Structure 1
Amino acid sequence: MPSADTIKYLLVFAVFFVSCGNNQVSIKGDIDYLGDANLIVQHQPVHYKYSPVQRDTLSVTEKGTFSFTTPVSSRHIRLLQINDESYPLVFSPGTDLDITIQRADFPQNVFVDGYPDDWDEYYNRYLTEIEEIENQIPVEEEKIKVGEKNNLLELSERKYQLAEKRLAGTPLHDYYLKTIGEYLVFKVRAIEYNQRFNESFDADSARNLVFTLADSLNFFSIESLKAQRAGIRDFAHYYARTFGIYDSVKSAYGQDLSEYDIKRVAYKELNEKRLQVLDHMESRDALAHARMYLVAERIGEQDLETATPSYEDYLEEFSDYPEYTEFLTYFYNEIKSVSPGQPAVPFSLPDINGNIHTMEDYQGKFVLLDFWAGWCQPCLEEFSYMKDLYANYSRDELEIIGISNEADSLVWVQDINRLELPWVQLYGGNGFNEETFKAYKGGGIPFYILVDPDGKISRYNDIRPSFNFSTVLDSLLSEYKNQMN
């Protein structure tokens, strides 16, 4: 039974929505300063990572004012973004919004006039109330990973309770549902660590309790899953880890094996466990959404031969969900376009001295493209192995080209000088929107592409300097030399 406050908010919004007489939203506002950043209004796509993104860059005057008008057909949330930070705006037909932004505080202390209720105030209060929790959660995460006493679950539960207090029943209700998903993911993660450090821990009972809790919080409903975005992917991923598969693979292959490589080595076992989560979906709508997310992750993480069966099965079973099938078809074809055998993506990027390098400059040898950034710890952990590779192979055999996604070029320069990397370093910038990275359909970093001497893609993100690169390259070099003789 919804609370009295929830009913009040829903009734207020219903009256507001019905009274609107046109199908557009107009926003105007001011920001105290913006610097080199952009002010962006972005749609939330079908898939948080792999969908094409529709975004509008707002023109901001020297005085810091901006305006924007767009057609809308129904109430929904769009994100106001500055760099990696975002603030949710409620777009409803016929709305005029006046926005005030304090850049140093963003996304806190954004004030919106034009809502029929104080939704901006509720969200600002929520952000203020969870600020300390958000700062403490990463600290507690590190403790749970090593078996130390921690307050991770208590903090996460407190966060979703605050979200319920401030946001439940408002048009920002999705943000409340999202915190429930975060809490449940932490509950699942705790199972993996508890059984690792406590031999008497009953993982089966703990898993059953998490599913009971998830059911009681309607986590597997379509409303919740859409609000979670990547939540179902994370829940299924960490659920699979509770069966000790990661520990078994590391025991067999070495403790330094990266998570990405574990996912490939143990794909079959992990996927079987992930699919068990689908048995808990509340409706066919929920099942279609959840499976769409898992199929997309398989396309993005595995070779196409492995991913194709689940992709084709989905298209056949859920043909009545065109939004999902059209997205998966688009993404599958995008990945296919950068699969081994396809031409390498051209680029033209500067090095630290401003000299421009292109892909064509390096034909005639194998080239490892390394997409990275200084804030990416897994990227940095690969560098010692890459230095050995660079020393062990001649430049006629192998060249390494680092392409940085670092948003700030000055930070990139500092990283280059600090890390003393001997191979070619080029600057792409713009985070995950860096053009070459996007053209290769990169989803995260480190991200590796191996290009052959003829300028064609040889391996697509299934190699790691710390794991299998030398074995793969030796085989390819031998094959190539035999072809040339």
Structure 2
Amino acid sequence: MPSTDLAKYLMAFAVFFVSCDNNQVSIKGDIDYLGDANLIIQHQPVHYKYSPVISDTLEVSGQGSFSFSSPVFSRTIRNLQINDESYPLVFSQGSDLNITIQRAAFPKNVRVEGYPEAWDERYNRYLTEIEEIETQIPIEEEKIKVGEENNLLELSERKFKIAEEHLAGTPLRDYYLKAIGEYLVFKVRAIEYNQRFNESFDADSARNQVFSLADSLSFFTIESLKAQRAGIRDFAHYYARTFGIYDSVKSAYGQDLSEYDIKRVAYEELNEKRIQVLDHMESRDALAHARMYLVAERIGEQDLETATPSYEVYLEEFSDYPEYTEFLTYFYNEIKSVSPGQPAVPFSLPDIEDNIHTMKDYRGKFVLLDFWAGWCQPCLEEFSYMKDIYANYSRDDLEIIGISNEADSLVWVQDINRLELPWVQLYGGNGFNEKTFKAYKGGGIPFYILVNPEGKIARYNDIRPSFNFTTVLDSLLSEYKNN
């Protein structure tokens, strides 16, 4: 059952959505094959990661046909989704759309009849023309990180030019604006790497040039920021990194320090730089949106004591933006419900031999919950430290429980056998929608929860086996045994 805050949040959305207009959009269509996947129409959430997902799962017949209708109050974009792939649909009042999907090609080659113009053909051409660029960009990203010659910025600029050509004058303009944001983020990231490998590089001048470029491309407008989704968070984050903060922290604490730990160790300094970006917002609407994103990230990544002041200030200053304040209130209370001192989330999950384990089975000792998957390299990098920890502590004091988010259980079994992890391994599956992970409001992996012997949360994702876990656990064990 949803929490009270979630129920209120969803109810407010539903009332607003249905009451604004009675005009319907109707769709029908065919898909050649779906298999075990679901065909979903997803609403655009307020926040790309922390908002509750509002979606409709379409019933697909054995012959592959489906239909759907919904009220709309203005032209809007909804995402047609299969697994991790999505295709944008333009919903307009009174429109009837007929959709044809080739599952093997999805999201390419989707045909949509019923648009007043051939927006589906434009989007398909866009996807086709950026396909090679999308393949090459990750390769060039790795080159820029180590100071090798690369053409990352040229590729990214070409992508947004292609988006401009095909989508700028259509209701799918958001994808053009999003491509601009990606290009600007790469421009900012290049500053960090250039000054790392080139002592004479003028970072101040480069930062000013990026801001001028961003202004010329209207990046800081409310229209652009909404299209970016996480773009303003990424821009502010990588802007803060251009001041050498990451390199300084690694020099002090060691090169193996994870990005998550750097964000916590250097929070004040990084945050001071991030909020400088807010000075460039072109309107109060844009400022409210950008600050909402930064406050949400703070709630999701920092302890509540650190996040609360900026959260409370936002609620007061932007009370006239209820969509944002209601979301932040919902999210803040969700995180508060899994903060230290709250009861651990109950679970009932199988191990590799189908034996069921529950959280209650491990009362009387500290338990480290490790949410992971075999494709997550930072997860794997922690395992050597975890093996040492597991060997150095008694099972009367500490148990480690791995909960896998791996979507494919056969892959999980292969990972367990390959990695030879000695602690308890349980299978949750379902990716980031794994039930226990979602109940803990996890945003990414590796994700760690430390539960105390009374079954209450002792630490919430602010510990790392490679960084501070041993120090934290020793202190908690000493306190527990002395009491």
Name the TM tier (shorter chain): over 0.9
1:401 and 2:401 equivalent? yes
Task: Work out the CA distance in 1 between the residues paired with 2:342 and 2:184.
Answer: 41
Q: 1:423 and 1:221 mapped to 2: Cα distance?
A: 50
TM-superposition CA deviations, 1:180-238 (whole Å, max 9, x none): 00000000000000000000000000000000000000000000000000000000000
Structure 2 equivalent of residue 98 of structure 1: 98
**Under a length normalisation based on structure 2, what TM-score does the superposition of the two structures give?**
0.95
**1:160 paired to 2:148:** no
**Residue matched to 1:79:** 79
Q: For 1:174 and 1:131, locate their aligned partners in 2 and report how far apart those are by CA, in whole Å.
A: 18
Does the 8 A contact of 2:348 with 2:359 survive in 1? Answer: yes
Corresponding position of 1:209: 209
CA contact (8 A) 2:22 2:72 kept: no
Greater mean deviation of Cα atoms: 55-64 or 257-266: 55-64
Which structure 2 residue ranges, 5 or more long, are not aligned?
Answer: 1-20
Amino acid at match of 1:44: Q
Does the 8 Å CA contact 1:369/1:401 hold for their aligned counterparts?
Answer: yes
CA offset digits 1:301-338 (Å, max 9, x no partner): 00000000100110111111110001001101100000
Alpha-carbon offset, residue 64 of structure 1: 1.4
- Give deviations 1:438-484, integer Å, cap 9, x for gaps: 1101111111000001000000000000000000001111111111x
Q: TM-score, normalised by structure 1?
A: 0.94
Q: Identify which range, 25-34 or 310-319, moves more after superposition.
A: 25-34
Matched residue count: 463
2:45 touches 2:52 (CA, 8 Å); kept in 1?
yes
- Once the two structures are overlaid, the 10-residue window that deviates more, 49-58 or 240-249, is 49-58
Local SS of the residue matching 1:277: helix
5+ residue gaps, structure 1, are 1-20
**Counterparts of 1:340 and 1:319, CA distance in 2:** 29
Aligned sequence identity (%): 89
1:269-314: CA deviation from partner (whole Å, max 9, x where unpaired): 0000000000000000000000000000000000000000100110
Shift of 1:22: 6.0
CA–CA separation in structure 1 for the residues paired with 2:392 and 2:27 = 58
Once residues 39 and 71 of structure 1 are traced to their aligned partners in structure 2, the CA distance between those partners, rounded to angstroms, is 19
CA distance in 2: counterparts of 1:431 and 1:96, whole angstroms: 34
User: Would the aligned equivalents of 2:299 and 2:335 in 1 still touch at CA under 8 Å?
Assistant: yes
Correspondence for 2:367: 367
Code of the aligned partner of 1:299:
I
Does the Cα contact within 8 Å between 1:450 and 1:459 map onto a contact in 2?
Answer: yes
* 2:139 counterpart of 1:139: yes
Task: Provide the C-alpha distance between the structure 1 equivalents of 2:282 and 2:407, rounded to a whole number of angstroms.
Answer: 41
Amino acid aligned to 2:426: L
Residue type at the aligned position of 1:313: V
**In structure 2, what is the Cα distance between the partners aligned to 1:171 and 1:87?**
14
Cα distance in 1 for partners of 2:149, 2:210 equals 20
Instruction: State how 1:308-457 maps to structure 2 within 5 Å.
Output: 308-457=308-457
Per mean C-alpha deviation after superposition, the further-off stretch among 397-406 and 203-212 is: 397-406
In the TM superposition, what is the alpha-carbon distance from 1:126 to its structure 2 partner? 0.4
**Could you tell me how far 1:26 is from its partner in structure 2?**
1.3
Equivalent pair of 1:22/1:94 in contact (CA under 8 Å) = no
Aligned pair 1:480/2:480, yes or no? yes
Name the amino acid aligned to 1:197.
F
Cα distance between partner residues in 2 of 1:50 and 1:392? 37
SS in 1 for 2:107: coil
Q: Secondary structure at the match of 1:382?
A: helix
For 1:42, the equivalent position in structure 2 comes to 42
Structure 1 residue 415: deviation in Å? 1.4
RMSD: 0.9
Q: Distance in 2 between matches of 1:455 and 1:70?
A: 44
